[in-house]
Structure 1
Amino acid sequence: MEIRKAVVPVAGLGTRFLPATKAIPKEMLTIVDRPTIQYIVEEIVASGIKEVVLVTASGKSAIENHFDYSFELETFLSQKGKLNLLREVRHISQLIDVVSVRQKEPLGLGHAVMVTETVIGNDPFLVVLGDDLVDSDVPCAYQMLQVFRKFQESVVAVQRVPHDEIYRYGIVEGVEVEKGIFKVSRLIEKPSPGTTKSNLAIIGRYVLRPEIFGCLKRTSPGVGGEIQLTDALDSLRRERALYAYEFKGKRFDAGDKFGYLQATVNFALDHPELGAKFAEYLKQVVERL
């Protein structure tokens, strides 16, 4: 079974970034010179997938427009001889084939995945959250696809977090079957302190078999009154094997103000044109502290 489609939920209101996100989708906030969503899509494309299903909501048309062809802009750049910018704009519009599905109510990540069933069909698929960035030599999504190809079962990406922060995440318990790969025995959404010894936190990358749709339909609203994908995955692992993969790379929660700043610094330092100059600036800032 091969993965040909990726689902990117982008329907959230972005309340953690208000007032900036009052009129701009949080996924369109810029990190250096690209919106967050472009980093996500480029990771998906680098992993060999070009068909992307965006789960959108009202006010999110800017995301779809970003990946669409813009005749007026391309004509303007061509006439002005701004060929480097023209190539960049064309690159964006040619990255992916976009399909949009509307999530009419904010009923949680599980619900966002569930509304894509008619588009996904009976195939396995990738899910990448629109504000979860991973900087790695090998794309995180590609790493996960390799695990899926080996086991042919659903895979969730995990990272170790401090024990006093596990209440913020879905947590995985399981047995390590290979280095960095765990067969999952239990999943808990945002556990209370002391209820689990595990600190393997689920981050925004999933490879899911189509059986997840049936589990989602049977899942009652959980934490926050929402349909939690973690709860549906816990049902899925009772029916068939589920694996967790401790990916290689640095993860940034770009939907959080501090995580967004961390991502900006990280990607600015890696920027081919700005990196050296920005590093020198940071040295000057540190010296003044």
Structure 2
Amino acid sequence: MIQRKILVMGLFVSGLLLASCGGKKKFAALQTQHQELASKYQESQMELTEARATITSLEQQLEQERKNNESLKEALTRLQGTLDASINSSAQGNVNISKLVDEINASNKYIQHLVNTKAKSDSLNMVLTNNLTRSLSREELQDVDVQVLKGVVYISLSDNMLYKSGSYEISDRAGETLSKIAKIIQDYRDYDVLIEGNTDTDPITQKNIRNNWDLSTLRASSVVQALQMQYGIDPQRLTAGGRGEFNPIAENSTPEGKARNRRTQIIITPKLDQFMDLIDKAPESSEEADSGMTEGTTQPLETNTSF
């Protein structure tokens, strides 16, 4: 009995020992499995975090792309507006270019008109100068300066040729020259004639002449009276005026300058309608004008003309 109990006890203990050894193995296996699961969980958590970060980045990129898309739409709208404006401007530009071409053509026509008018005026000046100088000798032309400025004729006579020394009386030498100028004035009988006296700055010493105003006016008056009484010029066409020393054409600091300033001008002025008639009668070419200048004279003329 006792041996049987001892045997049962041994078997029981052996069973307990065997059971205990099996539990440890299961526990160890469970621990290993738990560690594996924990590791996998950690890896999953890391992957989840990375996935979330990726999703956040993608969402940000998507938002940026949406903004870029909006910017592109706005740029496209502006570009379309610019294109429409450019098309409209191009159409308007074509109109402006056409208008500019018309203006240029009109300007060219006007310039050509001015050129033609200038050429005709130059021819007129040549004709008038010829009419006034063709009868004067070379010696007379040395004391007579003829200019035609804008249709107005200026004949400047030196005092040495025209007056007696220090006087306002007409010299004998001037008579022949004045007669030729009177002939021209008679040819243009409807023109007004201004006789204008000019002096230098030297003071007057004669008792009956107060100053250069008096001298210049008296000299102009002497020419006017000679043209009226000796050469039959209508006095209603004549005007006498004196400018004293105040209309110089040269410096009074030299004898040569003073000699140029001591002069009497005969200014022949056509009225406007008469001037237009002269333009209509002016030769169309310089050859015709040259032909008119040589007619009636056998020697070249040394004249000073300008326009």
* Shorter-chain TM band: under 0.3
More helix by share: 2
More strand by share: 1
Structure with the greater alpha carbon radius of gyration: 2
Q: TM-score, normalised by structure 2?
A: 0.27
